[in-house]
Amino acid sequence: MSKQLVLMDHDGGVDDYLATMLLMTMDHIQPLGIVVTPADCYAEPAVSATRKILDLMECSHIPVAQSTVRGINPFPRLYRRDSFVVDHLPILNQSETIRTSLVAQTGQDFMIQVLREAPEPVTLMVTGPLTTVAIALEKAPDIEAKIQKIVWMGGALNVGGNVEKSWEPGQDGSAEWNVYWDPISAAQVWQTQIEIIMCPLDLTNNVPVTSDIVYKMGRQRQYPISDLAGQCYALVIPQDYYFWDVLATAYLAHPEFYQLREWETEIITTGLSQGRTKIVSGGRKIYAMDKVDKEAFYAYILQQWAR
Ligand SMILES: [Ca+2]
């Protein structure tokens, strides 16, 4: 059986590194590269940490590219700082040199090239804003035909968003961060015919990062990857943290853990609700992950990181 081609586009949050670590364990997937979109991070440590993680996972043949797109509403500094912390974790700094290459071209140009050269359509695994995808599509509309589907962590359908009103003025709390960073790009992707399977807050709100699961990662810390995952989650445990990007990414390996539901939606790009993914009759059809077998998911990630 041929492997499923996947290009990942993450935005450098703690969860994004963990999603990358999970993707690298999937035997039936052939990762074509990793693009880092500079959203929930500072770009340089995020790119550096990503390359070091690929080294640790013995995936240094997979190229990393730095996207240079811009957002509209920056992520809080408190979240973005984590990219420096992860980049400095001892387990990622056992060698003075990084083997995984950083490609010379921008992440958006790399995305265009990878899609054009792919022998068959590619799944885009996106765990940050859709800006790099939108810019790539704008520069090279022909690549739409090479995108099999987009699996995306983003949006909030029937629950509130996660952009807190007390932190961010001028919005009503309905937006999810990956949309809010750049609602215009999300709306542009909504204009395409590409199949979108999203993992919204409606689902992730039910799958918290609990002390119990983090302790379980610790109890198998003889495995370096489980140890690293546990350290990363320990870093964010004081926040209200959920399996956002990791839950979305696990879908690639085990779609049978999930129930999908179709919705008609639109992206609100202006005003108080900018960044909202609103259910609207007659709107753009998308699939949302609606339910997940939580126990199977927790068991799966523990098993995959036991290496
Ligand atoms: Ca992310």
Share of the chain residues as helix, strand and coil, in percent rounded to the nearest 5: 40, 20, 40
Mean predicted confidence (pLDDT) in 111-129:
98
Between the CA of residue 199 and those of 55, 109, 235, what are the distances in Å? 28, 26, 23
What pLDDT score does 24 carry?
98
Mean predicted confidence (pLDDT) in 172-191:
98
Q: Which residues contact 154 (CB under 8 A, 6 or more apart)?
A: 126, 129, 130, 176, 178, 179, 186, 198, 199, 200, 277
What pLDDT score does 167 carry?
82
Mean predicted confidence (pLDDT) in 81-110:
97
Mean predicted confidence (pLDDT) in 206-225:
96
What pLDDT score does 166 carry?
82
| Structural class in CATH, domain 4-304 | alpha beta
Average pLDDT taken over every residue of the chain: 97
Distance, CA 270 to ligand 1 centroid (Å)?
Answer: 22
Distance, CA 16 to ligand 1 centroid (Å)?
Answer: 5
Mean predicted confidence (pLDDT) in 204-230:
96
> Of 112, 103, 96, which is closest to residue 145 (Cα–Cα)?
112
Distance, CA 246 to ligand 1 centroid (Å)?
Answer: 9
Our CA angle for 75, 81, 83, nearest 5°, is 100
Distance, CA 291 to ligand 1 centroid (Å)?
Answer: 20
Confidence class for position 2, pLDDT limits 50, 70, 90: confident
Mean predicted confidence (pLDDT) in 279-300:
98
Kindly report the number of other CB atoms within 10 A of residue 205's CB atom.
15
9 forms beta bridges with 35, 126
Phi-psi region of 241 (alpha: psi -120 to 50; beta: other; left: phi over 0): beta
Checking if the pLDDT of 121 tops 80, the result is: yes
Give, to the nearest 10 degrees, the angle between helix 224-236 and helix 211-219: 150
Each domain of the chain, given as residue ranges in start order, spans 4-304
Checking if the pLDDT of 165 tops 90, the result is: no
Is 0.85 surpassed by the pTM of this model? yes
- pLDDT above 90: percentage of residues in the chain: 96
Checking if the pLDDT of 1 tops 80, the result is: no
3-state secondary structure of 284: strand
Distance, CA 135 to ligand 1 centroid (Å)?
Answer: 18
99 DSSP assignment: -
Ion ligand 1 neighbours, Cβ < 5 Å: 11, 13, 16, 127-128, 245
Mean predicted confidence (pLDDT) in 164-193:
95
| pLDDT tens sequence across 250-264 | 999 999 999 999 999
Q: How far apart are CA 275 and CA 156, in angstroms?
A: 9
Our CA angle for 134, 28, 210, nearest 5°, is 75
Distance, CA 229 to ligand 1 centroid (Å)?
Answer: 15
Distance, CA 121 to ligand 1 centroid (Å)?
Answer: 24
Contact by Cβ (8 Å): 129, 9: no
